[in-house]
Amino acid sequence: MLKGKSALITGSTSGIGLAIATALARDGCNVMLNGLADAAEMADIAAGLTRDHGVKAAFNDADMSKPDEVAALVGATAEELGGVDILVNNAGIQHTAPVHEFPTEMWDAIIAINLSAVFHAIRAALPPMRERGWGRVVNTASVHGLVASVNKAAYVAAKHGIVGLTKSVALENAGTGVTCNAVCPGWVRTELIERQIAARAAEQGIEIEAGARDILQEKQPSQQFVTVEQVAGLVVFLCSDAAAQITGVAVPIDGGWTAQ
C-alpha cells in the first residue's frame, strides 16, 4: 500500500528502527537508514533490503545531535530517493541517574538527540510534504512520553516533549494530507533495555533472565516484552490510508503499562 513512497528512518541501524525500515520496505517503500554504525555493514543491510523487497535503500551516518546534519540528512534522502514522504524519528539515547546527580552533558545530549533532532527533521521535511498534499510523520516516543519513572529525568522530559510536539505539528497540518503521530512502546527488548536488565540483575545479584522478569513485573502487566516487529507494524499502519484521519495521537504499545 506504500509502494513507491520514500521513507527516512532515523536511528535505524538496529532494533526498533531497523525493524520499521524493514517493514516499510516490505510494503514497497524506498528507505533511508541512519545511525552511527559501520558503513560497510550498513551497505550490506541496505543491499539486502533492495534484494529482498525490490526497493531503493541507502544509508547516511548523519549525527542527530547536530542540527545542520539533520537538515542535510533530509536533503540527502530527497535527492537519493526522490523525496521524503514518510519521516520516522526514532533516534534516541538513554542515561539513568537521580536528578541531583544527573550529568549536565548527558542532559544536553539526550535533549539534543531525543527531542531537538525531531524538531529539526520535521522542520526540514514538512514543506515538500505539504506541497505534495501527502505525508506521514511518526515519532518514536515511549511510555515515558505519557508517564514518568525515577532516574530518567532527561529521557522522560524529551519523550513528553515529543508528544507535545507531535500534537502541535498535527494541528498545524490538519487537512493538508500530512499527519503526525507518536508511538509509545513499553519494554521492548532492545540493546538499550538489555543494559537496564543487566544493571537490575547485577544490583540484585540475580541472573539476566530473572532481571528481565523483574523489570516486566514492575511495569508491564502482560508480563511480555513488546517486539520490534509489533512496533514496526503499528508504524506501518499509521502510514497507511486507513490512518489518514488519525493525527496528533500518542499510541501506547505497552502491554497495559499506561492503563494502570
End-to-end CA distance of the chain: 35
Burial 126-165 (b: 16+ CB within 10 A, else e): beebeeeebbbbbbbbbbbbbbeeeebbbbbbbbbbbbeb
**Alpha carbon distance 190, 18 (integer Å):** 11
Contacts of residue 175, Cβ cutoff 8 Å, sequence gap at least 6? none
pLDDT of residue 183: 98
Per-residue pLDDT of the chain (260 residues; tens, 9 = 90+): 799 999 999 999 999 999 999 999 999 999 999 999 999 999 999 999 999 999 999 999 999 999 999 999 999 999 999 999 999 999 999 999 999 999 999 999 999 999 999 999 999 999 999 999 999 999 999 999 999 999 999 999 999 999 999 999 999 999 999 999 999 999 999 888 898 899 999 999 999 999 999 999 999 999 999 999 999 999 999 999 999 999 999 999 999 999 99
138 SS3 class: strand
pLDDT of residue 88: 98
pTM of the model: 0.96
**Grid coordinates representing 245?**
484521519
pLDDT of residue 249: 98
The 3-state secondary structure of the chain, one letter per residue: CCCCCEEEECCCCCHHHHHHHHHHHHCCCEEEEECCCCHHHHHHHHHHHHHHHCCCEEEECCCCCCHHHHHHHHHHHHHHHCCCCEEEECCCCCCCECHHHCCHHHHHHHHHHHHHHHHHHHHHHHHHHHHHCCEEEEEECCHHHCCCCCCEHHHHHHHHHHHHHHHHHHHHHCCCCEEEEEEEECCECCHHHHHHHHHHHHHHCCCHHHHHHHHHHHHCCCCCCECHHHHHHHHHHHHCHHHCCCCCCEEEECCCHHHC
- Active-site residues, by number, are 155
pLDDT of residue 210: 94
Contacts of residue 66, Cβ cutoff 8 Å, sequence gap at least 6? none
